[in-house]
Structure 1
Amino acid sequence: MTSKIVVFGATGYTGRLVVSSLLGRGERPVLAGRSEDSLKSLANPHGLQYLRADVSDPSTVRALVQPGDVLVSTVGPFNRHGYAAAAAAADAGAHYLDSTGEVDFVHRVQQEFSARAEGSGATMVPAFGYDYVPGTLAGALAAQGAGTPGGYLRIGYFALGSLRQGISGGTLATLADAFGRRISVYRAGSLHSRLLGSTTYAFRVRNHARRALLAMGTEVLFLPETYPGLSVVEVYNGWFPRFSRAAGAVSWAAAGLSRLPGGRNAMAKAVSLVAAPGSGPNEQVRSRSGSYAVANLSDRHGYTVVEVHVQGPNVYTLTGELLAEAAVALRRGDAVSAGVQGPVGAFGLDGLTALCARAGLRVV
């Protein structure tokens, strides 16, 4: 039987982008989600199959895939709703991709499902979107360009053009949940905990210095495995350079609020008032911005050894394209390793570079 691509969360904002990208490649994905009416309205115009599945009943998610299928999950926040899909893929021996930006979720998937997926021959690649494929690609190219690096790898994410009215409800919810939390950085062979936004770094973007705040990134989990000579791996976000200097104080305040009874719920409720679930910028708004990432590899004295820049379309457009292109590649058998992998581990650096180029992400 021919393997299939299943998009779980197909009627959400990111899910719709993935479905559109797959259709543009001539694919016929199976759509899955909670609402049968929403699935029907999305599937019928294209003559697509749809299946109802809900994370509150994991057996319905498990029924979506068989060995060799590809499951693309866009159901977030992933720490609350993502494990059912990851477990279903690992149990079934199905390949797996998701759109998470939550690094602690990725770390748990790595710990819990890697051996199971490796045993079944499945390749699971979480966080295969704007978070964090561009930085992984740039960082891997920088590390390879340096030979056997022993330096400091700092990766910065930036937006080109205006992001006004250009951030989805899911992104706002993830950012709000992240402030006040501790994130991981890689130093001298192990992960260390730091407060999000507690420091900043200035990157060169199109010959201008742009400051970015310390942020979460799966690069700290996967790049040291491929390039064990790296001494430090840190990820920064520079979407809002003017905010970067104040981010530390905001994060400390959020950390204090989250320790109060009901504090974390109050922050989540505040975000929900301005960020409707499933909402996001339309095609016209997305066309006004692009994505950019920089990997700066420096020596212990702070001198740059290698710097790599990558550029692509709008962050949400790019996420849809990357997930669609990777789903096709996994079904085609392009993966080079089974188990829970980062982008380089899953496809190899040459394969990842070619895959990203097909999705619109290219080295500048």
Structure 2
Amino acid sequence: MQHEFLLYGANGYTGELIARHAMQYKLLPILAGRRKEQIAPLAAKLGLPYRIFDMNDGGALLAALKEVKAVIHAAGPFEYTAKPMVLACLLTGTHYLDINGSIEVFEMIKQYDASAKKAGVMLLPGAGFDVVPTDCIALQLKNLLPNAVRLQLAFATTGGSLSHGTATTMTDKLGEGGAERKDGKIVKVPLGKKGMWVDFGPKQLFVMSIPWGDVSTAWFTTGIPNIETYTGVAKKTFTLLKLQWLFNWVLRRSSIRKIIKNKINRQPAGPADEQRTNARSLVWGQVINEDGKTAIVRMSAPEGYTLTTHSALIIVQKILNGNFSPGYQTPASAYGENLVMEIPGVNREVIE
């Protein structure tokens, strides 16, 4: 078997999970990152080659990408790391995947669609929990109700927790507010502007609106002009956020964010294997047309980091087998509404 893809950020929590499970898909990545003291022992344990370089070292980045057909970019925060990796992939003809979930990053990468088509390269950000399950539900709902004008997507996790990388990315967005799509345009709104109870199937949970990646990607996938995204929270958190205008300015201060990040770094790197195994992700989507007709799809899936591990490897396997569409893609635009059903442990139902 050839080492056909680069896994950059293999020393991160999710990157290590992807490295550990790659053999399950008969894939042999080249592990890469900045920290030799973390990458080298993992590579030795898994019997894989590795490369150590900083992404700011353009020569080393280009040299590493020339060795492979694709990269899974797993080193955030993607607001800073996605663009240099995308540009390097366009220069070397390397397919690009990442596990990002940021609206701004999706919108930025989308701008390179024409360049990617010219280079014969696929750019597919959001190849993990952000946004594979929600993107597949969005497309399924569009197919169920083609004239839908409004899309709502919600997710919640039972029994899971955050990795350092996810928590750090969220800290960098503290005090920045939310976003939704209105009449085809992304508009800024307060975080938690809306809240509602959702029947996820196994249980009813309260959710509030957040700026999830689908505000960008579901529009690309479906063309539905009004999109809202929600996540499960405690009702008291939602109530507290109604006062956020009083303290958002404090949360935007770098000194406050630094204190929070130091606290994050003292926690475990992410959920333990047993915790991930016992946790579940619940996903729900609803579309509405002008006449008020609705369609609902709900899903039960593995915990988010587990799902990300499988979905990223499934997608990179497809690419290496020649199954890809050049240019900017979302998971469902490239591989259809049933992509998510290839992930072990996913159950889905349509509610009439």
Task: Report the residue type matching 2:346 in the other structure.
Answer: L
* Structure 1 CA distance for aligned equivalents of residues 31 and 130 of structure 2: 23
SS of alignment partner, residue 346 of structure 1: helix
Please say which of residues 167-176 and 274-283 is displaced more in the overlay.
274-283
State the shift of 1:58 in Å: 2.7
- Flag the 1:6–1:360 CA change in 2: closer, same or farther, 3 A: farther
Q: Counterpart of 2:309?
A: 320
Partner of 1:139: 138
| Residue 293 (structure 1) aligned with residue 266 (structure 2) | no
Cα shift readout 1:292-325 (whole Å, capped 9, x = no counterpart): 1100112457x56100012211111111111111
Listed one character per residue, the Cα deviations across residues 14-59 of structure 1 (whole Å, up to 9, x for unaligned) are 1001112212222111101112232221112332111112123233
Whether the 8 Å contact between 2:201 and 2:298 is mirrored in structure 1 is no
Indicate whether 1:255 and 2:255 are aligned: no
1:342 aligns to 2:330 (yes or no): yes
**1:279 aligned to 2:269?**
yes
With the length of structure 2 as denominator, give the TM-score of the two structures. Answer: 0.91
Aligned to 1:148: 147
Match of 1:357 in 2: 342
Question: CA RMSD for the aligned pairs?
Answer: 2.4
Counterpart-to-counterpart distance in 1, 2:122 and 2:234: 35
Q: CA deviation at 1:345?
A: 2.0
The offset of 1:128, in angstroms, is: 1.4
Q: CA contact under 8 A between 1:7 and 1:31: conserved in structure 2? A: yes
**Given that residues 3 and 69 in structure 1 are in contact (C-alpha distance below 8 angstroms), is that contact kept between their aligned partners in structure 2?**
no
Q: Secondary structure at the match of 1:287?
A: helix
Per-residue CA deviation, residues 243-278 of structure 1 (Å, 9 max, x unaligned), is 23323434x34522256xxx1342243232233598
CA shift digits 1:59-86 (9 cap, x unpaired): 3222221387110011111112332222
Instruction: Tell me the number of residue pairs that the alignment of Structure 1 and Structure 2 aligns.
Output: 349
- Verify the 8 A CA contact 1:67 1:93 in the aligned structure 2: no
Aligned-residue offset at 1:172: 1.6
Residue 200 of structure 1 aligns with which residue? 195
CA deviation vs aligned residue, 1:127-174 (integer Å, no higher than 9, x gap): 211111111111111111113323x210001113x23xx221122222
**Residue number in structure 2 paired with 1:219:** 214
Alpha-carbon distance in structure 2 between the residues aligned to 1:240 and 1:71: 37
Amino acid at match of 1:154: Q
| C-alpha distance in structure 1 between counterparts of 2:243 and 2:293, whole Å | 29
- Return 5+ residue gaps in structure 2 as ranges: none
Inter-partner Cα distance in structure 1 for 2:317 and 2:207: 34
Counting only pairs closer than 5 Å after superposition, residues 78-117 of structure 1 correspond to structure 2 as: 78-111=78-111, 113-117=112-116
What amino acid maps onto 1:189 in structure 2?
G
Q: How far apart, in 1, do the equivalents of 2:268 and 2:87 lie?
A: 24
Aligned AA (1:37): E
1:306 is matched with which residue? Answer: 295
Contact 2:76 2:165 survives alignment (8 Å): yes
C-alpha spacing 1:237/1:268, structure 2 compared with 1 (3 Å): farther
Distance in 1, Cα, partners of 2:284 & 2:23: 31
Measure, in 1, the Cα distance between the counterparts of 2:233 and 2:303.
Answer: 12
Structure 1 runs (4+) deviating above 4 angstroms are 239-242
Q: Which residue of 1 aligns with 2:48?
A: 48
Looking at structure 2, the residues matched to 288 and 156 of structure 1 have their Cα atoms a distance apart, in angstroms, of 21
Q: Is the 8 A contact 1:135 1:219 kept in 2?
A: yes
Q: 1:355 to 1:131 in 2, by over 3 A?
A: closer
Task: Determine the structure 2 residue equivalent to 1:185.
Answer: 180
Residue 129 of structure 1 aligns to a residue whose secondary structure is: coil
Paired amino acid for 1:289: A
Work out the CA distance in 1 between the residues paired with 2:67 and 2:45.
Answer: 29
Instruction: Quote the Cα distance in structure 2 between the aligned partners of 1:14 and 1:277.
Output: 16
Query: How many percent of aligned residue pairs carry the same amino acid?
Result: 21
SS in 2 for 1:202: strand
- C-alpha distance in 2 between matches for 1:208 and 1:46: 39
2:66 is paired with a residue of what secondary structure?
Answer: coil
After superposition, the C-alpha distances for 1:316-358 in whole angstroms (9 at most, x for unaligned) are: 11111111111111111222x2112111222233xxx145423
Structure 1 counterpart of 2:40, one-letter code = K
* C-alpha separation in 1, matches of 2:127 and 2:189: 24
